[in-house]
Structure 1
Amino acid sequence: MAICAFSEKKSEEELAQIYNVLLHEGITTFKTKQSKVSLPTRVTAEKQDRVHRKGAVFVVRDKAHFTANGVRGYIVTSKETLLEDAQTLTHFTPNVYRTFGYIDENRQYIHGFEERNLQQINTFVVDIDTKKYTVNELLLTCMDNSIGLPTLIVESTRGYQLYFALQQPFFISPKNDFRGLKVAKRISDNLKQSLQAVEADVFCNDFGFFRLPNATNIVYAGLDNVYAVGSLIDWSMRQDDNKDRPLFVLATQRLASSVLESDWFDALVHTVNINGEKGKLGRNNTLFTLALIGYSEGWDIERTENFLDEFNARLEAPLNASDLHTILQSAYSGKYHGPSKEYVEALLALHVKNGASYKVSLGHRCWYKFKKAREDRQRSHYDEWEDDIIEYITAQKQTTEPFIWLTQKEMCEAIGIPQSTLNVLLNSSTKLIKTVIGKGRASKTGWTTVQLFITYTIDLLRTQKDTYTTYVHQIIEAHVNVLEPIAGYQELIQKLSLLKVLPDKYGPALSSLDSSG
């Protein structure tokens, strides 16, 4: 059952269904102790639970519990607990972690929510940190510019969070240096980038804490809107090709020119008025980026610490020593290979105000694979979409009529193609035909291919030819001498009402029809 309701209080049954879609089998169905369900029901669920590895999610009761000393919350290992506590919680991790625990004896501060500790990714979440856009505007932007409609939209105090749930969980393995995690992070980044028209927060943590959907904060739910991992990867690769960036990089021999000698590095370290605000990179991000530069340059941690101390002391609003130490330890934790080029470019654009333009190169990294020219890649991706649509139309056609009848929205959902991409494709394609019959609510949109239409037209011509021949024979037999023949099949084609849907670009494809009968 798909839910699609706005500002409507959700029942416990609907919430349970939502949690099933978001969490899959990542945590147990019921509590192992003090469960309120009957024993037979619990036994049946436990048998099913044993089929899948189980982890945990982290929950928080108040946004203020995200503190400089750690996150104050607790660990949930069953959907039953999550459902019972939903109205008293504000945030949770919708993606499941494999190890978890508390860092203090009183079991108040939690640990384990690190990306490399992810067991499975169930959903991607995009944060919209403003309410200037309506829910309908968010949905239209998702359709036009992104992968498609979200599974959920959850309202927060300052904006909305859009959930894009997976059909099946994406399991994270440490193999190949967490390559699967890198793929997932790139998908997440492309989703955020695709929703810039509604000011998506591109710097929001990819797989951290988000608003917990509860009975009152869900403003849109379409539980049929779930996405296969393969489709998301294909879509993300198309986005990457448009930005001319590959997914994987390999470390290579360090170039002679160091990052430390670059103009952009010099400009960044001499900027002192770096502040931060929600949704923008600021002081902490700058210090973390500089720490990663030191790490990637091979500095020992003491040298980087001295460098950060000097930079921090020059800032108009320096960071306290404790937080600076935390940033340094994180940069040297081994979880990161080096700074992000995108982050460096954003920091320069936001905080370096000298009017100069900088080309950022990190010096010691290279592309993983050779890529085709951009125009060739873009054309090939449109060809792939075109082939998908042709295959879908051919499979769906049930009658001798060449058209199938779907709205443009229905076609986008069936194929998984963004509406903006479909519009571009229809303008350039010489293999697809779209026609609209009627006006307003009574209108219908027909879809076919040139090949199906030509086949249909040839069959129609042959039928017309047979009918015409029979008619001539009848006239001759009746000794009628006056006859107004139809001159050629091309003229007959033009008399067919269906031909009105064919633009001029299809002319060459029809030029051979005179000899087709």
Structure 2
Amino acid sequence: MAIFVSTNQLLDIYNIILHEGLTTYKAKHSKATLPARVEAEKADQRHKKGAVFVVRSKADFTSNGVKGYIITSKETLLEDAAGLSHFTPNVYREFGYTDDKRTKIRGFEEKNLLQINTFVVDIDTKRHSVQDILLTCMDESIGTPTFIVESDRGYQVYFVLSEPLFISNKQNYRGLTVAKRIADNLKRSLQSVDADIFCNDFGFFRLPKQDNIVWHQLDQTYTMAQFIEWSRRQDDDLERPLFVVPTKLTKTSVVQSEWFTKLIHAVDIKGEKGQLGRNNAMFTLALICFSEGWEKERTFNFLDEYNTNLRFPLSMTEIETILDSAYSGKYNGASKQYIEELLAQYVPGGSSIPVRLGYKGVWYKFKKERKDRVRSHYEEWEKDIIQYISAEKSASEMFLWRSQKELCEAIGIPQSTLNVVLKRSTRLLKTTKGKGRNAKTGWTTISLFIQYALKKAKEFAQNRGLYRLGLQEVVNEWINELEPIAGYELLLEYLHKLNVSPPSTTHELIERDIG
């Protein structure tokens, strides 16, 4: 259920997303007082300004262009918000219209980005609750989002940067390349809640409005350094470097490769939401032809023949649009990831076909294999502990009861390393009952704690019809038992967001500092 936000709260959200990318007030017909406008103009001059693009409905995204308009001030965005459906939360450098009537917009290409303000993950289903999404963000992604917007069919999850990333053409748009890898890792980290990994990284998304925000924690923003460090760990798990910078083409023709031949003979390509399809395949082939130096007419004839063989062909207009886009010069080349996905989905045995794109690249070194390192990273030990607890803990228990010695032996972690992990971890929780030989140590995670509390609260509500009291009762039972390690502080924050107030405890100073 959406949380209704006031106009002032909505303005706070826009300020947090857009930073200083737009002017504060309209240049003409502003409703602000003269002193406020003068003060804002002085502040606005300290930062370069751009624009965002907006549309009134999803139907405005047409095959012949996007119908919408350009907004350059936060005041206009706030005034028009109720009548808009989508916007570009990231700010663009240049902007304009493609027709004299100023109905179709242009300029929302990635290389025209002035600054990246936020990463957004699209979840195009309501099979998962908001609580499921939040817990997945905590367990499998970088952390809780800044806010979540509800759409007719799903949710869009915003992870906002505390400071914008400014994009330039230096080193072949290196900053944009890194940002796209982070966006990809964020989407992949939320695949268990059906995140759309093929959604445009920095395109149009649902505009946060007074009646469509289902979660917000506006102080939960991330630095670019945090995103990069987290993304590096994700890349380590996938055994891929942070990014590749293409240099020059080799003499080997890509169109003679096995994967290219297999792909053009895959005639059952269609695709659906969240899955690559005909348009992606056609665009990929067009980019390859362009990189091979083919004339546009030759590529058109090739795509026309390929389209004729498809079981579900595209229209001639769609082919022309794809061809124009591929030959616009806005793209470095075809995406290896997309090619691999297409092969896996539509070519028998396609997952095992190697994909080479005919260019050399600057590859960053992989981290050593874990077995080859003298000491494993603390993050990896934390992951091992969490996996062990999740696998061994009974669903009917709040904790997994194991002595520290038993835990160390089961995972193969040295006692000294475990102590360091506990000091650093913001995901683990620990309790100890009894003393000496009779002492028992309980282990859990923030996510498992909240899941257990919500489950028990639901049972309580079924018996007595009082969900909130049930949740409070479960927390009251266990909160005093937890030790004040790093994860305890973060747990208090999450409980506060759930409107649960831990009773006065010996850790009350920690709670007061957080609140």
Match of 2:112 in 1: 117
Map 1:207-286 onto structure 2 (within 5 A): 207-251=202-246, 257-286=252-281
Are the equivalent residues in 2 in contact too, given 1:141–1:198 (CA < 8 A)? yes
Distance 1:87 1:325 in 2: 36
2:131 maps to a residue whose letter is N
Map 1:158-237 onto structure 2 (within 5 A): 158-237=153-232
2:370 maps to a residue whose letter is E
Deviation string, structure 1 residues 155-208 (Cα, Å, up to 9, x no partner)? 001100000000011100111111111111111001001111101000000000
Instruction: Pick the aligned partner of 1:342 from 337, 343, 362.
Output: 337
The residue matched to 1:176 in structure 2 has which SS? coil
Deviation string, structure 1 residues 282-340 (Cα, Å, up to 9, x no partner)? 00000001111112223232322221111011112221222212211211222222211
Map 1:25-424 onto structure 2 (within 5 A): 25-251=20-246, 257-353=252-348, 357-375=352-370, 382-383=377-378
Quote the offset at 1:358 in angstroms: 1.9
Q: Do residues 444 (structure 1) and 482 (structure 2) align?
A: yes
Are the equivalent residues in 1 in contact too, given 2:120–2:201 (CA < 8 A)? yes
Quote the offset at 1:49 in angstroms: 0.9
Distance 1:340 1:189 in 2: 12
Are the equivalent residues in 1 in contact too, given 2:247–2:362 (CA < 8 A)? no
Distance 2:272 2:367 in 1: 40
Relative contact order (C-alpha < 8 Å, sep 6+): which is higher? 1
Distance 1:95 1:109 in 2: 19
Distance 1:121 1:425 in 2: 40
Quote the offset at 1:382 in angstroms: 2.1
Distance 1:169 1:220 in 2: 22
Cα 1:220/1:430, change in 2 over 3 Å: closer
The residue matched to 1:303 in structure 2 has which SS? helix
Quote the offset at 1:114 in angstroms: 0.7
The residue matched to 1:316 in structure 2 has which SS? coil
Cα 1:145/1:249, change in 2 over 3 Å: same
Deviation string, structure 1 residues 42-90 (Cα, Å, up to 9, x no partner)? 1111111111111110110010011111111111111111111111100
Distance 2:366 2:351 in 1: 30
1:180 maps to a residue whose letter is G
Distance 1:263 1:138 in 2: 40
Quote the offset at 1:266 in angstroms: 1.6
The two structures, once aligned, show a CA RMSD in angstroms of 2.7
Match of 1:398 in 2: none
The residue matched to 2:173 in structure 1 has which SS? helix
Moved more, 207-216 or 357-366: 357-366
Are the equivalent residues in 1 in contact too, given 2:18–2:117 (CA < 8 A)? yes
Match of 2:14 in 1: 19
Distance 1:216 1:248 in 2: 39
Quote the offset at 1:373 in angstroms: 2.7
Distance 1:74 1:426 in 2: 60
Deviation string, structure 1 residues 245-267 (Cα, Å, up to 9, x no partner)? 11333446655653323322221
Quote the offset at 1:440 in angstroms: 1.9
Distance 1:209 1:262 in 2: 35
Cα 1:424/1:40, change in 2 over 3 Å: farther
Distance 1:107 1:159 in 2: 31
Cα 1:192/1:354, change in 2 over 3 Å: closer
Cα 1:94/1:428, change in 2 over 3 Å: farther
Cα 1:355/1:347, change in 2 over 3 Å: closer
Quote the offset at 1:213 in angstroms: 0.4
Are the equivalent residues in 2 in contact too, given 1:382–1:425 (CA < 8 A)? no
Cα 1:316/1:20, change in 2 over 3 Å: same
Cα 1:350/1:12, change in 2 over 3 Å: same
Quote the offset at 1:381 in angstroms: 7.5
The residue matched to 1:175 in structure 2 has which SS? coil
What is the number of equivalent residue pairs in this alignment?
410
Are the equivalent residues in 2 in contact too, given 1:238–1:381 (CA < 8 A)? no
Distance 1:381 1:114 in 2: 41
Are the equivalent residues in 2 in contact too, given 1:155–1:161 (CA < 8 A)? yes
Distance 1:426 1:159 in 2: 44
Match of 1:480 in 2: none
Quote the offset at 1:94 in angstroms: 0.4
Cα 1:425/1:143, change in 2 over 3 Å: farther
Distance 1:381 1:81 in 2: 52
Cα 1:41/1:381, change in 2 over 3 Å: farther
Distance 1:269 1:8 in 2: 49
Distance 1:353 1:226 in 2: 43
Are the equivalent residues in 2 in contact too, given 1:260–1:266 (CA < 8 A)? yes
1:429 maps to a residue whose letter is T
Deviation string, structure 1 residues 458-499 (Cα, Å, up to 9, x no partner)? xxxxxxxxxxxxxxxxxxxxxxxxxxxxxxxxxxxxxxxxxx
TM normalised by structure 2 equals 0.74
The residue matched to 2:485 in structure 1 has which SS? strand
1:443 maps to a residue whose letter is E
Distance 1:378 1:129 in 2: 41
The residue matched to 1:81 in structure 2 has which SS? helix
Distance 1:441 1:290 in 2: 58
Distance 1:193 1:297 in 2: 31
Match of 1:429 in 2: 417
Are the equivalent residues in 1 in contact too, given 2:126–2:153 (CA < 8 A)? yes
Cα 1:256/1:67, change in 2 over 3 Å: closer
